[in-house]
Amino acid sequence: MPRYRLTLEYHGGPFVGWQRQAQGLSVQGVVEAALAALEPGPRAVQGAGRTDAGVHATGQVAHCDLGRDWDPFRLAEALNHHLRPHPVAVLAAARVADDFHARFSATFRTYTYRILNRRAPLTIDAGLAWRVSTPLDDGAMQAAADLVVGRHDFTTFRSVQCQSPSPVKTLDAFHVERQGDEILCHLGARSFLHNQVRSLVGTLERVGAGRWPVARMAEALAARDRAACGPVAPPDGLTLTGVRYPGD
């Protein structure tokens, strides 16, 4: 059966997350329903990242096996037709080798967390960013972010429901960028723990607001204790922006 790689964009607001669940609308579920509309029968799709409820994507990758040899452009167009009215779009489709796996073949993932640092409520950006009304020092936030880059035990910054066999991960990049009232946190790694990005950003906000000294970020990491983590940032501001594979 031909295998296809799909690059997806979606607004996470209406969904219980990427992963199909017993109850609630999932991104995986609506993509599988669109595939089944093209070819009768159950059609499974595997994603590169299991984004949580409310988390968005501009570069999610998934793969699926189909019975027909579809032209990639026509496949993307047909899927987008059947995905309406859900806020999910196939940006690109490509034929790939049979051993390609969206999750296990991935070599790098990037996320961006968006904070709007202002007093006024969000209107256009409601559901797409975390509004923090307290002034934030992005320089202090970057200094704290630098302390957790590298290979560490991230027990402090992972959900107690995390299913990863090890809390040890390598965080390759953690950049804090201010553009006016907007603060963007860009993170990159081969893989992430459950809630790792939101836990790191939520803790970073404490530093930016002056409630934590920069050094406390390193202390929280060294504690290897979930109780040492700051508040977890809400899902609204988080977007999976890209997934890389060998040869990309």
- Nearest Cα neighbor of 183 from 113, 103, 87, 85 is 113
- Nearest Cα neighbor of 61 from 21, 11, 106 is 106
Identify the pLDDT of residue 47: 97
Selecting among 52, 146, 153, 236, the annotated active-site residue is 52
pLDDT, tens only, 108-138: 999 999 999 999 999 999 999 999 999 999 9
Q: Which CATH number fits domain 3-96: 3.40.50.300, 3.30.70.580, 3.30.450.20, 3.40.640.10?
A: 3.30.70.580
Identify the pLDDT of residue 42: 82
- Count of helix runs (H) and strand runs (E) in the chain: 5, 10
Identify the pLDDT of residue 170: 98
Identify the pLDDT of residue 43: 86
The SS3 call for residue 173 is strand
Identify the pLDDT of residue 173: 98
CA distance 56 to 37: 24
Burial of residue 191 (number of CB atoms within 10 Å: 0-12, 13-18, 19+): middle
Scan for tokens 């209406």, then name that residue.
Answer: 14
Identify the pLDDT of residue 31: 97
Is residue 24 a contact partner of residue 14, using CB atoms and an 8 Å limit?
Answer: no
Is domain 108-244 given the CATH code 3.30.70.660 in the classification?
Answer: yes
pLDDT < 50 positions in the chain: none
CA distance 94 to 62: 11
pLDDT, tens only, 89-102: 999 999 999 999 99
Confirm whether 3-96 and 108-244 share one CATH topology.
yes
Identify the pLDDT of residue 161: 85
52 is catalytic: yes
Identify the pLDDT of residue 232: 97
- For residue 171, count other CB atoms closer than 10 A to its CB: 21
Identify the pLDDT of residue 160: 86
Identify the pLDDT of residue 181: 97
CA distance 40 to 28: 17
CA distance 12 to 237: 10
Q: Write down the domain spans for the chain.
A: 3-96, 108-244
What element of type H or E holds 36? helix 27-38
Is residue 115 a contact partner of residue 197, using CB atoms and an 8 Å limit?
Answer: no
CA distance 114 to 202: 11
Bond from prior residue into 85 cis (ω within 30 degrees of 0): yes
